Structure 1
């Protein structure tokens, strides 16, 4: 049994993996260390499991399309004085086999057994399918 877990998160307003990459390249999405981060209100209770090898899997338009290794969790305090959690991420976006996912709010834990596999090195260089098409093909078992 794996001793780590992943995080599943919707990438709201993103149309494709390239949009997520562009957002993360902006100064707004990076910390002082230059690494991309995603800030959330809730601190994960399973922190040790996440930091033991977990990734943040991104859902884009209803389909899991990529992941990023979670390097650490940083505490950040907003201008409102509220403590938040920043998932500090490896800048490398790793494409995964498409897997459909219903909408949800916030983030969810994702067991390693339920995480889609990474695309093979050969397939990772293919042109990306639109998320809707990738999701439809995944639903019928073609991808």
Structure 2
């Protein structure tokens, strides 16, 4: 059974900003596929479930707006001990906007609780900013 991960995207202002930051960070797997990665403190105990079609859902400015499919996990040594490298597909999939409160680290996200993907080319932030903010405060988007 698939499960996803949920992570705050600290220091990122928008999906476009995330795309810009990710440029130039691509690496290549042994099979030639490009990937991005994110280093986190702990590896998920439910890694097999995450690798069964799971994705990393990014919370940007208090809202889930995008996800990246997870390809794998790798243990990495750092100056601060052993960490977990989350290996991510380079493609970003925009999702419906879903409010989330801040948390530390990552959290599991059950598929039933995950926002739906948006149709290609559609953005969750297509509304005027003031209207969008008002609707978000009311919990309507």
The question of 1:104 aligning with 2:103 is answered yes
Instruction: Give the match for residue 74 of structure 1.
Output: 74
Q: Distance in 2 between matches of 1:41 and 1:35?
A: 20
Unmatched 5+ stretches in structure 2: none
Instruction: Give the match for residue 23 of structure 1.
Output: 21
Check whether the contact 1:60–1:131 (CA below 8 A) recurs between aligned residues. Answer: no
Aligned residue runs from structure 1 range 1-143, under 5 A: 3-27=1-25, 30-31=26-27, 33=29, 34-80=34-80, 82-121=81-120, 123-124=122-123, 128=126, 134=132, 136-138=134-136, 140=138, 142-143=140-141
Higher helix share: 1
Higher strand share: 2
The verdict on how the C-alpha distance between 1:129 and 1:13 changes in structure 2, with shifts beyond 3 A counting, is farther
TM-score normalised by the chain length of structure 2: 0.84
Match of 1:48, SS? helix
Aligned length: 137
Q: Deviations over 1:104-141 (max 9, x none)?
A: 111000000000000022524x8755888656535646
How far the C-alpha of 1:32 sits from its partner, in A, is: 5.4
TM-score normalised by the chain length of structure 1: 0.83
Q: Distance in 2 between matches of 1:55 and 1:4?
A: 9
